[in-house]
Structure 1
């Protein structure tokens, strides 16, 4: 499995960055995650961090090195993150649980699946043309689909999210067969709301993703200026096995057994060092307690000094 991946998050004009992004992979599967903590509720950044860590920890436990049921895993991961946020609120005696959006993409066996809740988006593009995009779980998007005037509806008002009292509503897609050069982009609304779809796809279409992502983020910040939201994006370019690789590509062929790699990005510009590999859990140790221990290990690894990488 070969791919190029790059992620970037900027605070913009907000007092704090409540977006969280990261990716992790085994020899045969790769996971991309983006969560946008909801600023209208307390500790949105905490909810986003819990969602990121919970999904990555579950991936580490389940992908050994392949997932048997990709759609089932994505549904389980989203609900697991939701429960972890509610548990955090209960343990800390919070009157209202923190809340976040979530979008997760899974790649294995040359195919892609994804799940999302809220208005953080996923774009799948080929040669600059849009193949697929998630549909926002917002009242404005609902009004647009039903033919109502969208201007009268607040774009930021969501009808579902993680951390809410009711079970989150989510949409899934896949499997989508991937061709060499296909690009996946996961982004927060701070990016897609600032850029039209034509501009977004044009910026995503050319040059390595290590150049595309900074350009997308910078352009969004330029467009919105002093009113900028947090802007976060993670993009992946798929490369066929055996094909000539991009200079900054990742090949998982050298990973052995159930080896696991992760790069979790917290805040910008003062980012803690990303997490080094965390040992995989034994197959028979998949309890809630085991997953909690894995989350704690990832949190500790994030804080541990080491060589910085994107």
Structure 2
């Protein structure tokens, strides 16, 4: 497959904190689909006219972006996906100002202004990976995903597109989770839209109706696939531990009530709370 190469600068409003943004993408990268090499994050793209590979390097005031496309008509779509992936259209001063109004969050914002929400270029892929990651470690989830890619992935240059269709019976996981995966694949085939411009309320409703889709999975998809800036994960263990350490309520119901003052930017509050933990998603590898 011949790929056409284009290089662009992706500008953004400063400040931008790259640590959790690229750190999360690198730490959860699926081998064969994504990679981090020599300060550049690469991954495949599924596009309207074909497919491609994006290479992204964070710099002071822009992200250096190279896209290799099977069809040049996809250039605009590819760049839009890269901007969405890195949340480059966010207004950091607006978000930071709103969250800083809470005296318990203000020190976190002051230490790392301009945090963005790491997102996904492929909502169906992210939803499948979310199911693969239920009740297992990040490493185990990556292993499950890599096995799917090696068997069902479509080659693009030296990488692969993540598969949207496969037999859940091939997955090395409990039968209950295979049923969850089968229900998701059926919904995607039937028209469940998890793209950035999709109806978030409709997507949430459909996902919630599927077996095995609890609030954590649904809100993770809303935050990273649908780009909801107010998605919130009060049941997440990391969030609850961070909340307790800061003097915030740590039970989900109480934390939801307390989080009302962060609206409509709770997805960004999640990033600040996660960053209080010592985890590889919060840092870019040396």
TM interval, short-chain normalised: under 0.3
Higher helix share: 2
Give the TM-score taking structure 2 as reference length. Answer: 0.27
Give the TM-score taking structure 1 as reference length. Answer: 0.25
Higher strand share: 1
